[in-house]
Amino acid sequence: MTRFPAAPIAQDADVLALREQYGETPSAIIEVLKALKNKEEGLSPRIICQVAYAYKVPEHQVSGMASFYSLLSTGGTEDQTLRLCDGVVCEMAGAEEVRQHCRHLAQETEWEIVPHSCLGLCDVAPAALHGDRQLGKLSTNSSSLEELLAGTQTRPTALPTARSGETRFLLRRPTSHPESDGQPPDPDFLDNMMQRGPQAVLDLLEQAEIRGLGGAGYPTSLKWSQVAGLESEQKYVVCNADESEPLSVKDRTLIDSDPFRLLEGMLIAGWTVGATQGIIYIRGEYEPQARRLESTIRAMRSEGRLNRKVGDTEFSFEIELHRGAGAYICGEETALLESLEGRRGEPRPRPPYPVSQGLHQLPTLVNNVETLCTVAALCQYGLEEYQKIQTEALFGTKIYAVFGAVNNPGVFEAPRGLTLGELIDEFGGGLQPESEFSFALVGGAAGQFVNAEQWKHRLDFSHSEGTIPLGTGGILVADTSRSVPATLRDLLRFFERESCGQCVPCRVGTHEIRLILDRLLSGDGTKSDLRRLEEYGDSLSLSLCGLGTSVPSPLQSALERFRPQFESLL
């Protein structure tokens, strides 16, 4: 039997005020805890009890959330906490030197210097988070923390001018920011598309062969059709903006560049599947982007563009924003739904799938930012324009990100189906002077290590011969100064930290693999360690969710294609 906390002697005024501000449903608990963390008492046992009583949930549920999310679990207040990214791109850009420098500057102060999993700021590495401020291009040329923070460059607010050869479809129209003009773009295409009916949208998605662009590549038309075909008085459209995987910054870029595009995609999705409520779940480290989306929602609401008349019917659809609090696992759709319902972001067993039993056990469509933006652009410009952009048998564009040992790192939009060599030479500006290509990590942290023999292989969702799995579209290029085992260890440190710990293969496997890699890199490894790496790769495939099952991809590809580098450490 669930036990709820006993009534406190007196209810805390701050907790009651925050409940009034953020709402009375458990989904607001994360926001309440974030606000309370920065008060003098912090998330003390008394405050945990107060929040549990205010929301009529078990005390262990609130305590579990406070320890689960990284933005809640540190001791200090956010104004005295500097979160330094230790993602693989930042590590290559000198994050360790910056980390040691900051710790030196923080001596004999109350500052807390905290290593943090990838902040989604790979394009301005090495990066950090100070409160809500996203900081980049950190250096060691400072004599105090205040000087370091004052001298850093924050991330760009939009995708810059198109680079040579770039093809823009999602980002074709001029950048529009609600903070500056307050006016949404011309919505005529939305009315025209909706008046054609939901089936016309589904047909368009199928003809264009749109796939989910969060990494899995599931056919979008099929997922939308499954939700549309279910009878329910209420359905949800949830946008997964919890972009927390190293090398993945595309969704932040899209929100910064054209936030209206995302809301248009959600409107079309809601109309097509018969949903009444849209929710954007954005990672807690993306506070500037969250505020931008809130401004966009207000602008569209004030113009009457959310709840709208379509033909002879009233289309009732609202969009709200929900902030996470630092947990990569919440990028997994069922963990995201658990977090939305006011719990730890631990994945659910599947089946059932969210399309039939998602948020509050109701039919739910979950898509990521790039997918929804692609749908909106397709509906505006049409199938013919989309199919004009063609490479081999693939249509349309993809948002890519190339980092590492290239002359022109960053984010860009280009046709699907490019080869690894084209991405590096034509869009990344080629290798840096006097650099020799060693390897690339393709598809994000859960991607594959590839070698020079795959230079002409195409990036695509298929796993056929002559292709490289596209994943999130993030690519890390390394020269001979960087080793595969060291890069793999950085990835495993990320996966170990971000494992929710719910299932044994992932909880134990990521930890043990990281320990083995530590031993190998310190010169204490043995031949049996290599065998154990392979065994752990097999066992991780039994994990409950995509975090654990994705680890074997970089691990096994590293051992298969770069085994001599591992053997040289013995």
Q: Which domain holds residue 40?
A: 13-68
Average pLDDT over residues 254-280: 94
pLDDT of residue 153: 77
Distance CA 191, CA 476 (A): 41
**What's phi and psi for 303, nearest 5 deg?**
-90, 0
Q: Return mean pLDDT, the chain.
A: 90
Residue 164's pLDDT is 83
Q: What is the pTM of this model?
A: 0.94
Best CA proximity match to 482, nearest among 140, 94, 86: 94
**Listed residues 449, 473, 497: the one ending a domain:** 473
133-136 and 236-241: which strand pairing?
A: unpaired
Asked if residue 124 has pLDDT above 50, the reply is yes
Given this model, what pLDDT does residue 460 score? Answer: 87
Q: Is residue 172 part of a domain?
A: no
Give the per-residue pLDDT at 514: 96
Torsions phi, psi for 336 (to 5 deg): -60, -45
3-state helix, strand, coil in the chain (%, to 5): 45, 15, 40
Which phi and psi (to 5°) does residue 543 adopt? -65, 160
Q: Are strands 394-395 and 390-391 parallel, antiparallel or unpaired?
A: antiparallel
Taking the CB of residue 304, how many other CB atoms lie within 10 A of it? 10
Q: Do 219 and 349 belong together in one domain? A: yes
Q: What is the pLDDT of residue 182?
A: 45
367 three-class SS: strand
Instruction: Assign residue 119 the CATH number of its domain.
Output: 3.40.30.10
Q: Tens of pLDDT along 60-95?
A: 999 999 999 999 987 778 889 999 999 999 999 999
Q: What is the pLDDT of residues 269-306, one digit of tens each?
A: 999 999 999 999 999 999 999 999 999 999 888 887 77
Q: Look up residue 247 and give its amino acid.
A: L
Question: Cα–Cα distance between 278 and 369 in angstroms, integer?
Answer: 13
Domain finish residue from 355, 385, 415: 385
- Sheet-wide strand order for 277-282: 318-323, 277-282, 236-241, 364-368
Closest to 171 (Cα-Cα) out of 44, 60, 114, 256? 256
Residues 6 or more apart in contact with residue 463 via CB below 8 angstroms: 469
Whole-angstrom Cα distance, residue 570 to residue 563? 12
| 20 and 111 assigned to the same domain | no
Q: Are residues 250 and 219 in the same domain?
A: yes
Q: Between the CA of residue 64 and those of 9, 34, 50, 150, 152, what are the distances in Å?
A: 23, 14, 14, 36, 35
Higher pLDDT, 151 or 48: 48
Closest of 282, 338, 321 to residue 64, by C-alpha = 338
**Are β-strands 397-404 and 410-415 bridged in parallel, bridged antiparallel, or unpaired?**
antiparallel
- What CATH number should be reported for the domain holding residue 433? 3.10.20.600
One domain for residues 203 and 134: no
**381 and 232 in a common domain:** yes
Six token digits for residue 335: 């963990």
Q: 30 with 47: CB under 8 angstroms?
A: no
**Residue 6 domain-assigned (yes or no):** no
Lowest-confidence pick of 87-91, 182-186, 343-347, 410-414:
182-186
Residue 374 forms part of a structural domain: yes
Answer yes or no: do 288 and 214 share one domain.
yes
Q: How far is CA 550 from the centre of its chain?
A: 15
Domain co-membership, 451 together with 519: no
Cα–Cα nearest to 279, from 291, 270, 289, 292: 270
Residue 496 has a pLDDT of: 94
Answer whether residue 535 is part of any domain: yes
Q: Is the pLDDT of residue 11 over 50?
A: yes
Q: What is the mean pLDDT of residues 529-544?
A: 90
What CA–CA distance (Å, rounded) separates 496 from 475?
21
Q: Has residue 314 got a pLDDT over 90?
A: no
* Whole-number percent of the chain with pLDDT over 90: 73
What residue type is 392 in one-letter code?
E
In this structure, is residue 366 part of a structural domain?
yes
CA distances to 116, 321, 516, 544, 552 from 502, rounded to whole Å, are 21, 27, 22, 8, 18
Give yes or no for residue 449 having a pLDDT over 50: yes
Contacts of 176-179 with CB under 8 Å at 24 or more apart are 176/258, 176/259, 176/260, 177/259, 177/292, 178/259, 178/260, 178/292, 178/295, 178/296, 178/298, 178/299, 179/292, 179/295
Assess whether 209 and 326 both reside in one domain. yes
Q: Which of 68, 98, 131 is the last residue before a domain boundary?
A: 68
Same domain (yes/no): 225, 319: yes
Verify that 296 and 359 share a domain, yes or no.
yes
Residue 40 tokens read as 């003098």
Same domain, 103 and 44: no
Q: Which residues pair with 364 in a beta bridge?
A: 236
Q: For position 221, which CATH number holds? A: 3.40.50.11540
In the predicted model, is pLDDT for residue 547 greater than 90? no
Q: How many CB atoms lie within 10 A of CB 39?
A: 13
Alpha-carbon distance 2 to 195, whole Å?
Answer: 49
* Arithmetic mean of pLDDT, 131-151: 91
243-282 in b/e burial notation, b at 16+ Cβ within 10 A? bbbbbbbbbbbbbbbbbbbbbbbbbbbbbbbbbbbbbbbb
Angstrom distance (rounded) from CA 351 to CA 433: 51
How far is residue 554 from each of residues 166, 442, 491, measured CA to CA in Å?
A: 29, 9, 9
Helix (H, G, I), strand (E, B) or coil at 308: strand
Query: Does 351 lie in the same domain as 315?
Result: yes
Relative to beta strand 437-442, strand 474-479 is: antiparallel
Contacts of 53 (CB under 8 A, 6+ apart): 4, 5, 6, 7, 8, 11
The whole-angstrom separation of Cα 370 and Cα 336 is 17
The residues with which 280 forms a beta bridge, in sequence order, are: 239, 321
Residue 157 lies in a domain: no
- Report the SS3 class of residue 274: coil
Tally of structural domains, the chain? 5
CA dist 71 and 226 (Å) reads: 36
* Cβ-based neighbours of 454, under 8 Å, separated by 6 or more: 420, 468
Q: Which residue has the tokens 């924050």?
A: 154
The half-sphere exposure of 446 on its side-chain side, counting CA atoms within 13 A, is 24
pLDDT recorded at residue 73: 84
